[in-house]
Amino acid sequence: MSESEKSRVALVHTEDRKSGVESSIRALDINPAKNKDVLVKPNFNTADLCPGSTHNDTLVALVEKVWKMGAKTVSLGERSFSENRSVMEEKGIIPLMEKLDVRIVDFDGLNENDWVKVDAEGSHWQDGFRIARPILESECLICTCCLKTHQYGGVITLSLKNSVGVVPTSRHGYNYMTELHSSPHQRKLIAEINAPFAPDLVVLDGIDAFVDGGPATGTRASGNVFLASTDRVAIDAVGVAILKSLGSNDQIMNTKIFDQEQIARAVELGLGAHSPAQIDLISADEQSQDYCDRIGEILNHG
């Protein structure tokens, strides 16, 4: 991004997930889904209650919105921490998606050649990593994530961290998740996963948040907010500002937003806004303006 460019992040203050999805996307005034084959990437790391995983109501509202935007087809793709199909069954996702005419792409079941190797040059991965081919070849990729901290080294798990689900647990005798979680560069590795692809839209459900613990369970708080953007760095920066507003752990409260390693490495890779000045935080409606102004102040302060 050039110095003059800005990434828009739409914010809506709400306790209703359907209106949160609708209002945040409408405020961006974009339609990347029209006449496209759309792949939706949720947060199904586990089947734990939101924000442990994507809320079913959020996913349904998002899929319904994507169909209204004129999508040609809609698919749902994910790889979970445990067996993906079991997570979706426990959450009741499969019948919901069938009813909405959504094809499920279980990344756990992909063929070996459908995990595309990404070179390690310039990254902190020892020998590169693999990305699910459906992600790389998606005509329109829409990601939805949660608002939470990560107690196992990630610090935050927002849109950048949600991309860990596009990398296999292990392939060709190598365990990528063992490398990720044992590396002193874990947060940089997370950012680097995002370099080979870019979502056309990210929607963050922050009605419920973890301000400590996470990603599956943690200390809960009510954020009562939805965000939408095309910029993963910008939406994560605003997400951290919201966590600060809610009162989070020391790693959140005592670190500048753009000094968070996931965000800092993503900036180095040119994945989005590199300062608060490059983020245009917009209120989706009049009722959200005060909340938006408060978060904007925290964002600008860092």
Q: Is the pLDDT of residue 280 over 80?
A: yes
- Distance (Å, whole) CA 269 – CA 257: 17
- Cβ atoms < 10 Å from Cβ of 125: 21
pLDDT digits (tens, 9 = 90+) for 194-234: 999 999 999 999 999 999 999 999 999 999 999 999 999 99
Q: What is the dihedral of CA 30, 139, 57, 55, to 10 degrees?
A: -110
pLDDT of residue 119: 93
Backbone angles phi, psi at 242, to 5 degrees: -65, -45
Residue 81: the pLDDT is 86
In tens, the pLDDT along 65-123 reads: 999 999 999 999 999 987 888 999 999 999 999 999 999 999 999 999 999 999 988 99
Mean pLDDT score, 15-19: 98
DSSP 8-state assignment for residue 48? P
Reported pTM: 0.97
Q: What does the buried/exposed string (b/e) look like for 46-70 if buried means 16 or more CB atoms within 10 Å of the residue's CB?
A: bbbebbbbbbebbbbbbbebbbebe
In what helix (H) or strand (E) does residue 213 lie, and over which residues does it extend? Answer: strand 201-213
pLDDT in tens, 160-193: 999 999 999 999 889 999 999 999 999 999 999 9
DSSP string, 14-28: -S-HHHHHHHHHHHH
